[in-house]
Structure 1
């Protein structure tokens, strides 16, 4: 089942269950996917493109969460956390920190990186492997630790 079909099914279910917040998030994600398809002039997005859109939606919400926490807006913090949970349900299973560290170590060995000057090469080779499966800031932190 494609992501769009899954979103449509979940949207119908959210309507039946009168889950307004969930319905709103599903509609936003679906709209983002459709806008991206229009932008790249395709009928359907590839899985990788869908994953990029989902990652963008998740990142936007996490950034908003940080801003609301800093501003002390507890009412909005709870709402955004709920939205993050809904978006994460459509993301692939996230890798643990140990799994990411193993991929980082292997990639560093593959590109023969020895210092922080090689960080760009390592990140360039690494990010396609963990796209959507690991948080970019965690990957960045682990690469820096291994290269120092």
Structure 2
């Protein structure tokens, strides 16, 4: 909780100079598109502030001065609100798939192949289908014989 409060107060205490910290923290922690977009926007504002401060200081341009003041004001006041809204549980959980209920570890008791030997289970199914592994191994044997026959006929 203390770390969350310090992160939220960083832009206010530094007069906007650390305004990118909360949004960068959210982007790194969650790696969601809208968090990354927020971090990019605040980084662009910080870059705008730095460029306008350099331009306003060198050529005394009032437009650069105003742009820097606006960028500083936005970096000072909005990152805290942005962080508190985006770090709330409702936003944090948004977009996550609902947890799927766990399937039982074993099938229904009557379908168990061990039902006759295990106490407490019902009777086994009346007509059990042959296991797929048996059918697959039979098909593989037939395929192997066919390939050997074709190799003998093709090689002679």
Q: TM-score, normalised by structure 2?
A: 0.26
Larger Rg: 2
- Judging by fraction of residues, say which structure has more helix: 1
